[in-house]
Amino acid sequence: MNINEAKQEIIHTIKAYLRKDETGAYEIPVEKQRPMLLMGPPGIGKTAIMEQIATELGINLVSYTITHHTRQSAIGLPFISHRRYGGEEYSVTEYTMSEIIASVYEQIERSGIHEGILFLDEINCVSETLAPMMLQFLQYKTFGPHRVPDGFVIVTAGNPPEYNKSVRDFDIVTLDRVKRIDITAEYDAWKRYAYPMGVHGAILAYLDIKKENFYIVKADLQGQQFVTARGWEDLSRIMKVYEEMGLPITRELVQQYLEDPEVARDFATYYALYQKYRTSYHIPEILRGERPKDMAALAGAPFDEKLSLIGLLTDALGQGFRAYGEEMDIQRAVFTELKKLRDAFAAPSGNASESATATDPGAVLPANQGAQPTRDADAVPDGTKNGLLVQLSSDHDALVVELQRQQKAHLLSHRAERIQRKVLLVLEELMETLRLAQSDGTSTDEALYALAKAWFTKREQVRKSAIESTSAELTNAFDFLHTAFSDGQELVIFLSNLNASSDCLRFIRECGNDSYYRYNQFLLLRDQRSALRAEAKRLLEL
């Protein structure tokens, strides 16, 4: 199966393992919860999906590369203790706690979460001294005398022998104690991961043209040559930063990430062409609804050039889709904080039309409906000067503490951490706005709340304006492709790219777009008609 299918299978298994009956016991006894063994080429994202799974399920992740461990660090150090047997005292050997097991308990203490994943990579490359212990670990979930805490699911990963000379084949006894999941490197599956991660558009456009260069492992007289999914993602990150800094992206840079000289040279050449297309096709102008002067020439352009153009459009639209999702999540979080201020400091109002629910983050913040503000009369008297700002500052500080706790426990994805940081910056902007207003004579909490409400409304107007702009760009992209290529395969490829992007699908789901619905429905009907024709032809030939 591909990496996305493997991810879903792991999620389903973890949910099944952690499911409890009415007594609070696990429905599948811990000793019958087979560890999962992921077998696949290096660099296809096995470790990355474990991080995603832990984040999505809200559980811990403790990750180790088992080849970095010795027998002593894995099972603990021996020490002499004294025991009495049959009325006599004996010296016996005991072991300190395994470093791996200790890390699991430490993670539980940091996060306060008692369930999680213990992920051990390169498990089939363990040293000879550790090999006998792995069977015991896989069967009994123990390192030495110390057991993995209940609630932690064991996931292991390894590489097939053709990718690693250090691989030790598992015998049937070991394989009979694991749930094996074989993973293959598939570009289309990785592409669905790449869109929300913001992988550089040039990389996706290039791989759309040359999928065979997505994953390569080979050996020749010069040694090992390889290109992996990890290499493409890391190259994307450095390319984006280089572009921001105005630095050139050279073949030498590319080859530091793509360890195949031929592929590195080919991609570096394509990147220069991609930049040329970006300039010559005026992508921002197309998305604004303008048309290139040489529209007629597009229909006869080489197919590689058409794919590059589609990639440029998809990449430009993807930035708007990601920005929408990010701003929506930020606005939700800010709304939650301002709702607390509404409940405590807003002036009472009997206008029922001003009421709103916390499930509608886009709603204008309402005043309290008919109820008196809930506040501490001693701490915040009527006409007070600082109650709202003190409360907002306290809420901000609480968010900082929670962010630090989640960072320390490694519970946040890169995107989630970025959103929380931006929420803090937005709240700091609001606090500065309120402080300036206070210094200008706005002293009551009710007045400061009204100002906060207006500030939020202005942010919401900007966000809605961005939604309209992104939707118009998507419509213009469809119109341009339809004008240039009619209903050909170019439009099919463009729609496939959009449907592979979770950011795009979220935008469509929450905001809608008539052009997307129209063209998507048209192509679905066309596919159905083609299938019916093929079936009718088959029946006539019988």
DSSP secondary structure letters along 189-251: HHHHHHHHHT--HHHHHHHHH-GGGSSEEEEETTEEEEE-HHHHHHHHHHHHHHHHHT----H
d(CA 388, CA 383) in angstroms, rounded, equals 11
Band of residue 386 on the pLDDT scale cut at 50, 70, 90? low
pLDDT exceeds 50 at position 350: no
Q: Give domain status of residue 17, yes or no.
A: yes
Considering just the CA atoms, what is the radius of gyration of the chain in Å?
29
pLDDT at 353: 41
The arithmetic mean of pLDDT across residues 206-210, rounded, is 93
Helix (H, G, I), strand (E, B) or coil at 380: coil
Could you say which of 164, 184, 204 is where a domain stops? Answer: 184
* Residues 140, 31 contacting (CB under 8 angstroms): yes
Surface-to-core class of residue 353, CB atoms within 10 Å of its CB (0-12 exposed, 13-18 middle, 19+ buried): exposed
Band of residue 206 on the pLDDT scale cut at 50, 70, 90? very high
Partners of 93 in beta bridges: 80
The arithmetic mean of pLDDT across residues 351-365, rounded, is 44
The residue with greater pLDDT, 487 or 460, is 460
Q: Are strands 142-143 and 146-147 parallel, antiparallel or unpaired?
A: antiparallel
* Residues 210, 269 contacting (CB under 8 angstroms): no
Band of residue 444 on the pLDDT scale cut at 50, 70, 90? confident
Q: Give domain status of residue 295, yes or no.
A: no
Lowest mean pLDDT among 6-20, 56-70, 176-190, 457-471: 56-70
Band of residue 387 on the pLDDT scale cut at 50, 70, 90? confident
pLDDT at 315: 93
Could you say which of 161, 184, 207 is where a domain stops? Answer: 184
pLDDT at 538: 64
What digits encode the pLDDT tens for the residues 478-496? 999 998 888 788 888 999 9
Categorise residue 299: left if φ over 0, alpha if ψ from -120 to 50, beta otherwise: alpha
pLDDT exceeds 50 at position 375: no
The arithmetic mean of pLDDT across residues 49-57, rounded, is 91
pLDDT exceeds 50 at position 469: yes
pLDDT exceeds 80 at position 380: no
The arithmetic mean of pLDDT across residues 228-252, rounded, is 95
pLDDT at 343: 84
- Output the average pLDDT for the chain: 85
**Tokens (6 digits) for 348:** 């009472």
Residue 371: how many CB atoms within 10 A of its CB? 12
pLDDT exceeds 50 at position 537: yes
Band of residue 525 on the pLDDT scale cut at 50, 70, 90? low
Question: Which residue is associated with the tokens 């992508």?
Answer: 283
Lowest mean pLDDT among 8-22, 378-392, 431-445: 378-392
pLDDT at 134: 80
Band of residue 349 on the pLDDT scale cut at 50, 70, 90? low
* Residues 146, 185 contacting (CB under 8 angstroms): no
d(CA 376, CA 386) in angstroms, rounded, equals 13
Could you say which of 130, 163, 184 is where a domain stops? Answer: 184
Band of residue 356 on the pLDDT scale cut at 50, 70, 90? very low
pLDDT exceeds 50 at position 377: no
pLDDT exceeds 70 at position 378: no
Which residue range is the domain that position 454 belongs to? 327-542
Phi, psi of 430 (to 5 degrees): -65, -45
Phi, psi of 292 (to 5 degrees): -65, 155
d(CA 357, CA 355) in angstroms, rounded, equals 7
pLDDT exceeds 60 at position 209: yes
pLDDT exceeds 50 at position 316: yes
Largest CA distance in the chain: 100
pLDDT at 369: 34
Q: Give domain status of residue 469, yes or no.
A: yes
pLDDT at 177: 84
Q: Give domain status of residue 194, yes or no.
A: no
Tell me which DSSP letter residue 21 carries. Answer: -
pLDDT exceeds 50 at position 67: yes
Helix (H, G, I), strand (E, B) or coil at 5: helix
pLDDT exceeds 50 at position 362: no
pLDDT at 528: 61
pLDDT exceeds 70 at position 534: no
pLDDT exceeds 80 at position 379: no
Band of residue 401 on the pLDDT scale cut at 50, 70, 90? very high
In total, how many domains does the chain have? Answer: 2
**Tokens (6 digits) for 13:** 């298994």
Q: Give domain status of residue 226, yes or no.
A: no
Tell whether the torsion through CA atoms of 224, 229, 234 and 236 is positive or negative. positive
Q: Give domain status of residue 332, yes or no.
A: yes
pLDDT at 107: 92
Q: Give domain status of residue 189, yes or no.
A: no
pLDDT exceeds 70 at position 531: no
pLDDT exceeds 80 at position 153: yes
Band of residue 281 on the pLDDT scale cut at 50, 70, 90? confident
The arithmetic mean of pLDDT across residues 513-526, rounded, is 83
pLDDT at 336: 93
Q: Give domain status of residue 137, yes or no.
A: yes
pLDDT exceeds 50 at position 361: no
pLDDT at 368: 37
The arithmetic mean of pLDDT across residues 400-428, rounded, is 91
pTM for this prediction: 0.79
pLDDT exceeds 50 at position 372: no
pLDDT at 95: 83
